[in-house]
Amino acid sequence: MATAERILTEPVPQEIEKKPWRFDVFAHLPWLKGLVRMRSFQFLVILPNLFLFYLFLIAGFFGTPIGNRNIIIVFVWILWWFVLIAVMMPFGSRLWCTMCPLPFFGDWLQRRSVVGVRSGKSPGTLNKFFGLQKRWPKRLSNIWLQNFGFLFLATFSALLVTRPLVSAIVFGVLILLAAGMALVYRLRTFCNYICPISGFLSLYAMTSTVELRSADKEVCLKCTTKSCIRGSDKGWACPWNVYMGKLDRNNYCGLCFECVKSCPNDNISLYLRPFSTSDVALRGYDEVWKACIMLMLAFSYSIVLLGPWGWLKDWANISEKHNWGGFGMFAAGQALLALVIFPALFYLSIRLGKWYARADDVSTKELFLKYAYMLVPMGLLAWIAFSVPLIMVNGSYIVSVASDPLGWGMNLLGTAEFPWKPLWPQWVPFAQVPILLAGLYFGLRGLHKVGSQLFKDPTQLFRSMIPPAVLLLGVTVLFLKLFIG
């Protein structure tokens, strides 16, 4: 009896648990595979965005300074943001990076080609690249710079999302920086370590329902060319320096599909998979802090931008109200919350769980890193819940601005006079509730999943989970309070 009980209560062996359902998209849609294998594929999807980007910059520099009448603000911070966070992140991984115009000029400078491939030799690759091709310092090969960069930009978010000029300057600087860095450093160092968008894309791509992976890791093991990471005459070396043979998370694959073109063994495919199930391992403090920063920024934005408190908006709105003391408090408060207070609360919950579970054989560090995954689906869904009112309330600006992108009184499509009209605003809370509950659900499930990799003993697993689970509930209730309470 005791032995039967024992066997049945033993956790599922990892090999079984580690193979969640996945569906081979390329095998079922060969035309899609053909499409991404076209040399011109990425250029063709970037091109329209490049054009729009150019238009946005012009609008930012020369159009009306009133945000909600300028295309750069309305299209970037209402339309693009919503599609990015609510559609591309959960369902497309880093699909945005496939079509992102920011690194275009950098790639062009490095490759001296927009479509074709050049074989040859450059550090670490079998392609001929131009530029200094330096390696990025090891010390900085993490996402800390992105963490601080994003937090810094977030300090000025009230300006960034309301002032066309500020948006245009920031995007202008990013595109120049991307090009400049491509001349000095190899591959997409900018995307890997600098781009402020990249940090949260990498984090939330983990939850996504698609993945690009090698079909058979055994084939990679025997593969002598390693063309995916080294490049070939069919495709450029992975711009993100990713080796497909070891890739097991979406984080740092920019979905450029070069490897699909270059792999001589036809060993790479696009897969569908369940939401927030496969990539559940955060691998460093940089990633854990990213998760904390993003969650706390969703919280802070919900208070400052979507809250009713004018004095807080005035503090954040520094260039108009000039209240430097207030701005300092806001900036310091936001940074403290994201970098210290919340991580400390999370750490405390981990320590408490470890103590309660008597888990002396698992280090606090490991628990801290692993259990932080619960913040990933929670953070993504909190951001989505935050973004729903943005598009529902201000979506009508998309219609009017499309006709008058610079706010100069044009009427290109005849919709310039389209009135501001919130779309079912009273139902927004009813959408936010299930979204937040889903965040809690996937967070708890993730917690259990990583926990079962750490603990053999189900009682220890269960006990270690309780304090972080309660913290996650607290976060959920806090967001509920802000949005509907």
Partner 1 sequence: MKHLIDSKYVRLAVVIVLGGLAGFLFTAFHLAPPQDRSITITAHKYAYDPPVLQVNRGDRIHLHLVAQDVTHGFYLEGYNLEAKMRPENDTFWVRHPSQGGDFEEVDEVSFVASRPGKFRYRCSITCGYMHPFMQGELIVRPNHLFSTSVGLSMGLLLGMLLVFRPSSQGVKK
Pick the closer one to ligand SF4 by CB: 267 or 432: 267
Question: Using CB under 6 A, which of the segments 93-101, 357-365, 368-376, 417-425 binds ligand SF4?
Answer: 93-101
| Minimal distance, residue 224 CB to ligand SF4, in Å | 8
Tokens describing residue 333: 């408060």
226 is a site residue for ligand SF4 (CB under 6 A): yes
Which of positions 115-144 make contact with partner 1 (CB under 8 A)? none
Pick the closer one to partner 1 by CB: 54 or 408: 408
Pick the closer one to partner 1 by CB: 34 or 474: 474
461 is a site residue for ligand SF4 (CB under 6 A): no
259 is a site residue for ligand SF4 (CB under 6 A): yes
- For 5-73, the DSSP string reads HHHHHSPPPHHHHT----EEHHHH-HHHHHHHHSTTHHHHHHHHHHHHHHHHHHHHHHS-S-GGGSHHH
Query: Identity (one letter) of the amino acid at 384?
Result: I
459 is a site residue for partner 1 (CB under 8 A): yes
**In 185-284, where does DSSP find H-type helix?**
189, 196-205, 217-222, 227-230, 258-262
Which residues face 272 on adjacent strands?
23, 210
Can you tell me the distance from the alpha carbon of 84 to that of 95, in angstroms, rounded to the nearest whole number? 9
32 is a site residue for partner 1 (CB under 8 A): no
60 is a site residue for ligand SF4 (CB under 6 A): no
Can you tell me the distance from the alpha carbon of 51 to that of 70, in angstroms, rounded to the nearest whole number? 16
Which of positions 369-398 make contact with ligand SF4 (CB under 6 A)? none
CA–CA distances in Å: residue 481 to residues 307, 417, 433, 476? 11, 36, 11, 9
Can you tell me the distance from the alpha carbon of 432 to that of 437, in angstroms, rounded to the nearest whole number? 9
Which of positions 352-391 make contact with partner 1 (CB under 8 A)? none
Which of positions 432-451 make contact with partner 1 (CB under 8 A)? 433, 436-437, 440-441, 444-445, 448
219 binds, among partner 1, ligand SF4, none (CB under 5 to 8 A by kind): ligand SF4
DSSP H or E run through 188: none
393 is a site residue for partner 1 (CB under 8 A): yes
Which of positions 145-184 make contact with partner 1 (CB under 8 A)? 158, 162-163
244 is a site residue for ligand SF4 (CB under 6 A): yes
Q: Is 336 helix (H, G, I), strand (E, B) or coil?
A: helix
> Residue from 125, 202, 278, 394 that binds partner 1 (CB under 8 A)?
394
Q: Would you tell me how many other CB atoms lie within 10 Å of the CB of residue 464?
A: 28
Residues that bind ligand SF4 (CB under 6 A): 96-97, 100, 102-103, 178, 191, 195, 197-198, 201, 212, 214, 219-220, 223, 225-228, 238-240, 242, 244-245, 253-259, 263, 265, 267-268
